[in-house]
Amino acid sequence: MKRSAVYPGSFDPITNGHIYITERAAAIFDEVKVSVLVNLQKKSTFSVEERCAMAREALSHLPNVTVDYFEGLLVDYVRQTRSRVIIRGLRAMSDFEYEFQMALMNRQLAPEIETFFIVTDPKYSYISSSSVREIFQFGGTVQDVVPPVVFQRLRERFPARLAQQ
Ligand code: PNS
Q: Tell me the per-residue pLDDT of 26-83, one tens digit each, with 9 for 90 and over.
A: 999 999 999 999 988 878 999 999 999 999 999 999 999 999 999 999 999 999 999 9
Q: Would 42 be classed as within a structural domain?
A: yes
42 is catalytic: yes
CB 25 within 8 A of CB 5: yes
Q: Would 57 be classed as within a structural domain?
A: yes
> What's CA 109's distance to the chain center, in Å?
22
Q: Would 94 be classed as within a structural domain?
A: yes
In which band, very low, low, confident or very high, does the pLDDT at 158 lie, cut at 50, 70 and 90? confident
Q: How far is the CA of 74 from the centre of ligand 1 (A)?
A: 7
* Count of domains observed in the chain: 1
Q: What is the CATH classification number for the domain harbouring 22?
A: 3.40.50.620
Q: How far is the CA of 164 from the centre of ligand 1 (A)?
A: 34
Q: Would 39 be classed as within a structural domain?
A: yes
Confirm or reject: Cβ of 149 under 6 Å from ligand 1: no
130 is catalytic: no
The domain of 33 spans 4-123
A 10 A CB-CB count for 165 gives 14
Q: Would 130 be classed as within a structural domain?
A: no
pLDDT of residue 41: 80
Q: Would 153 be classed as within a structural domain?
A: no
pLDDT digits (tens, 9 = 90+) for 92-127: 988 999 999 999 999 999 999 999 999 999 999 999
Q: Would 83 be classed as within a structural domain?
A: yes
Label residue 108 exposed, middle or buried (CB < 10 Å: 0-12, 13-18, 19+). Answer: exposed
Confirm or reject: Cβ of 73 under 6 Å from ligand 1: yes
User: What is the number of the ligand 1 atom nearest to the C-alpha of 106?
Assistant: 22
Distance CA 153, CA 71 (A): 24
pLDDT digits (tens, 9 = 90+) for 69-101: 999 999 999 999 999 999 999 999 889 999 999
User: What is the number of the ligand 1 atom nearest to the C-alpha of 37?
Assistant: 8
pLDDT of residue 39: 84
Q: Would 77 be classed as within a structural domain?
A: yes
User: What is the number of the ligand 1 atom nearest to the C-alpha of 102?
Assistant: 22
